A = this chain, B = another copy of it.
Amino acid sequence: MQYPEPIAKLIDSYTKLPGIGIKTATRLAFYTIDMQEADVTGFAQSLISAKRDLKFCSICGNLTETDPCVICTDTSRDQTTVLVVEEVKDLMAIENTNEFHGLYHVLHGVLSPLAGKGPDDINIESLVTRLQQHEEIHEVIVGTNANAEGEATAMYLSRLLKPAGINVSRLATGLAVGSDIDYADEITLIKSVEGRTQM
């Protein structure tokens, strides 16, 4: 015997989400049935709305309701610096520090030969075009993740952009604030010694 169709379909929908197997999907589906009607309706509407009303900014690749996005249209921001990130989530994380006031460029991915992802598969061409059209941009900060793929992408961007006379920098690697030295991994420790700062 199968579950009644409405719940079977809902379980099927939940299993399409990443990291959710049949057991968790079943649990979530039964939970959904016990939720307030307004919450379920709101959930359904927010799914449709997120898919329908959001697009990527044609300039920087940020997720936005209006194109260009609020960051690209904000003339009070520093128009000379572009911080390159892998994903919109990274942009949000940096933006929430309220300390960076330049512009962004979202790659929507990272160079990964193992996953078959080359320079044409991520948002690099639009970055080059953007730098050519906006000569006021003279620094690109590469804010890809501090792992092998992020480093490779940073290296690629550096070799691509430096010959064009653009100042390419990389986010500092080192000890996370509040962390213990004896818990830090070796490569982080080496990087923190190499990148030591004057006091």
Contacts and interface: CB of A to CB of B under 8 A. Distances in A.
Copies of this protein in the complex = 2
- Main DSSP-derived SS at the A contact region: helix
Contacts of A12: 46
B13 A46 contact: yes
Interface in A1-48: 1, 3-7, 9-10, 12-13, 16-19, 24, 26-33, 35, 37, 39-48
A170 B45 CA distance: 45
Contacts of A88: 30
A1 B95 contact: yes
A114 interface: no
A63 B4 contact: yes
Interface in A77-136: 87-89, 92, 95-96
> For chain A, which range describes its interface: under 10, 10 to 19, 20 to 34, or 35 or more residues?
35 or more
A18 to B, nearest CB: 5
Contacts of A49: 6, 9-10
A46 B41 CA distance: 11
Given A4-B64, A6-B50, A17-B28, 7 more contacts: A1-B70, A1-B71, A17-B32, A18-B31, A33-B54, A33-B63, A40-B51
